[in-house]
Structure 1
Amino acid sequence: MSQTITTTLGPVRLIGDNATPIWGMPNAERNRRMAESSAKNGSRLAAGHELLFNLAYAFDPLLLRLALETPGTLFVWADTPIVGQVAQGINPLTAPHVIDLSDGRKLYNRQLRKLEQPMVRELTPATRREIERRSYFGAYKGVTDILTKYLWPELALILTRIAAQLRMTPNMVSVIGVTLCLLATYLFAKGLFWTGFLSGFIFMVLDTVDGKLARCTITSSKWGNVIDHGVDLVHPPFWWYFWGTGLAYWGLGLSGGTFTFIMTAVIAGYVLQRLIEGMFLKDFKMDIHVWRPFDSQFRLITARRNPNMVILFVALLAGRPDIGLIALAWWTILSLVVHAVRLVQAYAVSRSGKPIVSWMDEAEAAA
């Protein structure tokens, strides 16, 4: 049994039927959203080809992206077609590039910067929650900060499931998060560090939830990405600045010279690190944090918002939020130096005639 539907991407053939919902929607709707999302991102089907989805299965969206990159590609599990871009009217199993994922092979996801075996599971009431869990964790970047990777994934999973069941959009979650971000900024300025920290912590978790909700429910939007990444990019220096002014309420206000030094270090250091990351991406077409294993490990603790909040939290526990801000400034300087050295080293390697290749790409080739 199959049916063909028309999407912006082109003809989509849905094989079989499945009443088991995933992330609060039928599997047919989820697949339709994936096709429409691919079209929005510029993908197109080759002439005379159609997209094929097997509704009995749920799979990692990476497989769809790879199938769209190479016409005639079909991913299968043993002899069962899962997803692919095949010529219309043919037996899918006769496609020129049939890739069997049942052998346990791993594929490199450049979007999320990780090498792993893509998920393929039969979607049934008994497997639904496990599939949702795997698709949720599959949306995590392999290279990120220590808190996002280890501290709150389980909490964010619960909140993502709740949001999906309530039919909340990622933008709704983002608006709540932005409100809490602004509230944290105000509370820091008033020296209410613990209350501000709680508000900021919830915002940081929701900052994960909105992205995961968008990926799991296939509801990403241009403006949602602008809001999400824009807020992420802009707000950290404001937190550090108002943390510094709020120290006066604790009787720990910094001298003018010290305050100026710290603000120069954290703001200039933050901006320069971002510029270095941008230069690396522009010149070598990949993120600086995926070049060598050291860079990926350093991303766990580099002076971004979340690791910096760990520094402030430890200082707050000790009753010295002033020392925390000073430590944050020096850690920002050290992180900037590390990034600058890595950029210079990359240019030196490139000038020597050697390609700049991610260690993850090398691992994929070895696999």
Structure 2
Amino acid sequence: MTTPLASSPPSLSLIGANPALLWGMTNAERLARLARAEGMTADPEATDARLHVNLDYVFDPVWLRHVLASPGMVVMDGDALVMAHLPRSIAPSTDQIAAHRATLTIIDYRDGPLIYNRQLRKLDCPFIQRLTPATRREIERRSYFGAYKGVTDLLTKYLWPELALVLTRIAAQLRMTPNMVSVIGVTLCLLATWLFAQGMYWTGFLSGFIFMVLDTVDGKLARCTITSSKWGNVIDHGVDLVHPPFWWYFWGTGLAYWGLALSTRTFALVMAAVIAGYVLQRLIEGMFLKDFGMDIHVWQRFDSQFRLITARRNPNMVILFVSLLFGRPDIGLIALAWWTVISLIVHAVRLAQAYAVKRSGQPIVSWMEQARP
């Protein structure tokens, strides 16, 4: 049972001091950024509740959101207090917590509690760890991988996480903002588009590959340093949404430089499949999110597994890369078109199945939420 508190966010109350740095900032600075992002205040008189946080500990931001949404929740690491969402009348001491135990929800991190992170589409036990100079790099690594989506494509998940981690650390040390990284990435994205149009596929691939890695770096840098911004998200997601069809179109026009230009009819059919398929898949994803309140890729395990290879930019680039190895970029583009159509059919069937389940009166719930104990 939890203690009823005011609906407004609690004020932030920091316990102790810790000079150790994480991603170039102190734990107090990191928590202040997290608090601002959640609409919290540092004024203890502004609310009737407090979120007490032990500065000896660093934790995944999902813990903060979880505890904020759960008045009366106390998170422990064995006998040590990590954080507690308490009314003003209860002090964050062992004695006080023990005295009010019946009205509090006490979680011990060592029991491995699972939390569903809807934003990052994953179910896991987010990290909590003591911050010292000796544990800093380990914690940075854990916070970096904690910012990864649980459901994404195979390249983002398996190919370049370690490379992106190194680049994220470098960017943080150089005091670069996520928007700076995004600008570099967008420039390389445009360069890749031009190179594809000129038939310079290998050079374009290099430019596109660096852009795709930086597309991971800017998001991880924003989450790890708590520097997300509205316009940064607009630029990042806007470019991600718009550029893929342009890559495929100019890949097609660049075939002329290889003497492999598609016929007018074939090129039109390929572009119709690629562009219409891409747009319709995005619309299906939007319809699923609107009607069922969650991403289509987290409905059932199959959907999460299919997200690894579905016809998005990164899996499509694998198809084109293999075709280049065999010197047939034309066949690669045709294969990309077929894979887009197949992926579209899969998503359309899944959407129809979801509507059928809804009509039968059964709830549409993510398999990750169902897996929680």
Asked if the contact 1:64/1:84 (under 8 Å) is kept, the reply is no
Aligned to 1:313: 321
Corresponding residue for residue 330 of structure 2: 322
Aligned to 2:346: 338
Q: For residue 89 of structure 1, report the CA deviation from its aligned partner.
A: 4.7
Do the aligned residues in 1 keep the contact of 2:59 with 2:129 (CA within 8 Å)?
yes
Are positions 1:68 and 2:76 aligned together?
no
Equivalents in 2 of 1:89, 1:170: separation in Å? 41
Cα RMSD after superposing both structures = 1.5
Match of 1:3 in 2: none
Other-structure match for 1:5: none
Q: Mean Cα displacement is larger for which, 93-102 or 116-125?
A: 93-102
Q: Note the C-alpha offset of 1:71.
A: 1.9
Which deviates further from its counterpart, 79-88 or 307-316? Answer: 79-88
Tell me how far apart the structure 1 counterparts of residues 351 and 51 of structure 2 sit (CA, whole Å): 41
Please state if 1:166 is matched with 2:174: yes
Structure 1 partner of 2:31 = 31
The answer (yes or no) to whether the contact 1:63–1:83 under 8 Å persists in 2 is no
Equivalent position of 1:290 in the other structure = 298
CA contact (8 A) 2:58 2:128 kept: yes
Give the corresponding residue for 1:144.
152
**What's the counterpart of residue 91 of structure 1?**
91
Is 1:302 the counterpart of 2:329 in the alignment? no
Q: More deviation in 51-60 or 268-277?
A: 51-60
- Does residue 217 of structure 2 align to residue 209 of structure 1? yes
Distance (Å, rounded) in 1 between the aligned partners of 2:39 and 2:9: 5
What pairs with 1:221-232 in structure 2 (closer than 5 Å)?
221-232=229-240
Structure 1 counterpart SS, 2:371: helix
8 Å Cα contact 1:46-1:71 kept in structure 2 = no
Are 1:181 and 2:189 matched, yes or no?
Answer: yes
Deviations 1:209-257 (A, max 9, x none): 0000000000000000000000000000000000000000000001000
Please state how far the C-alpha of 1:107 moved relative to its aligned partner.
1.7
CA distance in 2 between partners of 1:140 and 1:11 (Å): 29
Matched AA of 1:194: W
| 2:243 aligned to which of 235, 241, 244 | 235
Q: SS state of the match for residue 39, structure 1? A: coil
Task: State the TM-score, normalizing by the size of structure 1.
Answer: 0.94
Helix, strand or coil for the counterpart of 1:76? strand
TM-score between the two structures when normalised by the length of structure 2: 0.92
Q: Distance between the aligned counterparts of 1:133 and 1:65, measured in 2?
A: 21
2:56 is aligned to: 56
CA shift, 1:10, in A, is 5.7
Name the CA distance, whole Å, in 2 between partners of 1:91 and 1:118: 26
1-structure distance, mates of 2:165, 2:84:
29
Partner deviation per Cα, 1:122-149 (whole Å, 9 max, x = no partner): 1011111111000100000100000000
CA deviation profile, 1:103-134 (whole Å, cap 9, x unmatched): 12222111111111110111011111111000
Task: Report SS of the residue matched to 2:123.
Answer: strand
- Counterpart mapping for 1:102-121 below 5 A: 102-121=110-129
Q: Distance in 2 between matches of 1:281 and 1:10?
A: 30
Return the offset for 1:91: 2.3
Q: Distance in 1 between matches of 2:177 and 2:84?
A: 28
- 1:39-58 Cα deviation digits (max 9, x unpaired): 19xxxx99401222111011
* Distance (Å, rounded) in 1 between the aligned partners of 2:46 and 2:72: 9
Give the deviation of 1:9 after TM superposition. Answer: 6.0
CA–CA separation in structure 1 for the residues paired with 2:20 and 2:89: 28
Of residues 71-80 and 91-100 in structure 1, the stretch that sits farther from structure 2 once superposed is: 91-100
Q: Please, which runs of 5 or more residues in structure 2 have no aligned partner?
A: 1-7
Identity percentage over the alignment?
A: 73
Contact preservation (8 Å) 2:11, 2:51: yes
CA displacement 1:183-225 (0-9 Å, x = unmatched): 0000000000000000000000000000000000000000000
Q: Which runs of 5+ in 1 are unaligned?
A: 1-7
Q: Counterpart of 2:38 in 1: which secondary structure?
A: helix
Shift of 1:83: 2.1
Alignment-mate amino acid for residue 172 of structure 1: M
The answer to whether the 8 A contact 2:9-2:47 is kept is: no
Q: CA deviation at 1:279?
A: 0.4
